[in-house]
Amino acid sequence: MGFMNLQSLSSVEGLVPWALLLAIPLFATWWWVDYRWRIADGEPPLVPYRIPWLGHGLSFMKDINGFTEWVRTIHPSSPAATVQIAGQHLYLIFDSKLASQIYRRSQTFIFDPFFLQTSGILGASKNDMEILEMGAQVVSKKTNAKDDGRRVIHDLHKMTPQYLSGDSLDKLTTMFMDILNDDIDKKFPADQESSFEWQTLDLCEYIKQVWSHASITALFGTHIYEIWPDIDTWLWEFDKHFQSLFTQMPRFVIPKAYALLDRGQELSEKWEADALQAEKDGKIEGDPDWDPYWGLRFVRLRNELLRRDGLETKLRAGNHVVFIWGLNANAIPIVMQVMIQAVLSPTLLKTLVTEVSSCVKDPTLGNLDIRKVTTSPRFKSVYLEALRWATASPSPRVVREDVQLGPYLLKKGNMAIVHSRTLQTDEEAWLVEGKPESHPSKFWAERFLDDGGDDKSEALRVEENAEAETNYAADVITHPTPRPTRLSKNKAVEPVSGPKSKDMQKRMLALRPFGGGTTLCPGRHFATNEIMGGLAALMLKLEIEVDEKELAKRGVPEPDLSKQGGLFPDRGLMVRMRRRER
């Protein structure tokens, strides 16, 4: 009996290591399952997840728009939600008032970490990163970080709006319109009978070709096409792969994306070298507003700033690549969306043609009054609706310190994202009682037709931007401890200005195609001019109608939600075009 008890005990003792091995993963699983429901007191409600540490990282990276829409169904009435991603909390913001607070408080909700991340992806050297980090807004400064007073990020940020407004904007717009009109005339010459006969082509591909050539030439000169004749083809291929670079996967995982980036940088280096040589050879005299090598004066001065502050050639070239991409990849999809909606509704197209016809300054020359074009009520409404319906611009910030945002506590080091599409498709903001056609999932051309209210409809947005800029400038230059926000007296002119009713003003706060705060897109004024001005020229020069047979085969284009920024149509639209009879 004693022997049997001893034998049993020995058997039990032999099982202990195995029991421990089984218990450890069970305990770990229990701990992680319990942990995944934990948030700090006051944080936005957590979205449940199954994978420890990683959380919803893969879903978020794969499809930001779809993932955010899904999160909204988990917490449909909450102004914000907390998502676990790679060991950190991500705060998704669904409320326009909270979004405005984030944009205003630029000393607490910071963007510079994303600029630094992008620079790393573009191949910034250690020396480049040390220069960029001087004065950059970060959560924690590196020990013994160098700082000789250079402020590259801040200086770029300050320079850009100055040269994309006023006289420089007028010059850029004029250059763009001249090139666009010339390209349309080359395809449909006024002195050839064939131009007045119907031609069938893909509307979206035609817009891509004409707009990218006009915008790249206007901003970067004509020489860039001499050394890079297939830049348009490269651009749209690069656009397909650009987002994957931000996964920061190794080259062997996303070789196509890196190959396209490499080629863009190589040719951008050549473009810069040729422009510098042209200066030495006296081909660029004085300080011109535009020249064939650099293009717009702003581009030349921008490159000069990067060279002066010691950034290396590869990073300068990478910065130029992103500049080219950003110029085209956000605006041109909106051109397509506006034109598609107009062509699909012949009555709307006829109305727009009549409206922009009144904006012609000289009927013999056909030149347009851009100011009148961009303030034409019906056309402006269609343009704004395209921005609302076909943009998805996540605006990220890093939380610099524990901070109270409305009812929530946001924790230091985590990320907050204002997802514009969520605000722009919110039924509470956009659905008009008694008008089912106003549902935010639909394109409603009349949504922004509103002749009530006062002349201060954009005061809140302008004030928000001015406050953010004041806080940012003070913080970057001196790195003080966070201080109470101050309002700037500087005024800005918004492309979405004009009299609006109080209800419309509330909706305009939820319209965020150009971001907000310090990242309010500095190129938004040119975007408005090139989209509306270019489309006005196109509609006045050409008759366009849908190819009904092809439409029946392909279906009606919808926004492609797999992308960010301006959303391309998910398919082409075959149309018939011919030059208008004078």
pLDDT, tens only, 156-183: 999 999 999 999 999 999 999 999 999 9
Could you report the per-residue pLDDT of 122-131, keeping only the tens digit for each? 999 999 999 9
Nearest C-alpha neighbor of 327 from the set 140, 523, 166 = 523
Query: What integer best gives the mean pLDDT of the chain?
Result: 89
Q: What is the mean pLDDT of residues 391-413?
A: 97
CATH 3.40.630.30 fits 151-393+523-531+555-582, yes or no: no
Nearest C-alpha neighbor of 438 from the set 508, 385, 375 = 385
Q: How confident is the model at residue 28 (pLDDT cuts 50, 70, 90)?
A: low
User: Which residue type, as a one-letter code, is found at position 8?
Assistant: S
More confident residue, 56 or 451: 56
Q: How confident is the model at residue 477 (pLDDT cuts 50, 70, 90)?
A: low
CB-based contacts of 581, cutoff 8 Å, min separation 6 = 196
pLDDT value of residue 18:
53
Q: Is 204 labelled as part of a ligand binding site?
A: no
Contact predicate 536/530, CB 8 Å? no
More confident residue, 470 or 230: 230
pLDDT value of residue 582:
72
Query: How many CA within 13 A on the CB side of residue 104?
Result: 19
User: Which residue type, as a one-letter code, is found at position 171?
Assistant: K
Domain ranges for the chain, please list them.
Answer: 151-393+523-531+555-582
- Residue 498 pLDDT more than 80? no
- Please state the separation of Cα 29 from the chain's center in Å: 40
Contact predicate 180/210, CB 8 Å? yes
d(CA 399, CA 540): 49
pTM for the whole structure: 0.89
Percent of the chain having pLDDT more than 90?
A: 80
Contact predicate 579/541, CB 8 Å? yes
Q: How confident is the model at residue 318 (pLDDT cuts 50, 70, 90)?
A: very high
**What is the layout of strands, in order, in the sheet containing 109-110?**
80-85, 88-93, 415-419, 394-399, 109-110
Could you report the per-residue pLDDT of 241-261, keeping only the tens digit for each? 999 999 889 999 999 999 999
Q: How confident is the model at residue 21 (pLDDT cuts 50, 70, 90)?
A: low
Q: What is the mean pLDDT of residues 190-196?
A: 96
pLDDT value of residue 257:
98
Q: What is the mean pLDDT of residues 375-404?
A: 97
Nearest C-alpha neighbor of 566 from the set 395, 341, 382, 393 = 393
d(CA 60, CA 563): 13
Q: What is the mean pLDDT of residues 64-88?
A: 96
Query: How many CA within 13 A on the CB side of residue 119?
Result: 24
Two structure tokens written together for 369? 């009054």
Task: Please report, for residues 90, 116, 222, 267, 310, the alpha-carbon distance to residue 121 in angstroms, rounded to integers and kept in the order given.
Answer: 22, 9, 28, 18, 19
- Residue 35 pLDDT more than 80? no
Contact predicate 133/145, CB 8 Å? yes
Two structure tokens written together for 173? 């717009």
Report the largest interatomic distance among the alpha carbons of the chain, rounded to a whole angstrom: 117
CB-based contacts of 192, cutoff 8 Å, min separation 6 = none
Is 315 buried (19+), middle (13-18) or exposed (0-12) by CB count in 10 A? buried
pLDDT value of residue 460:
65
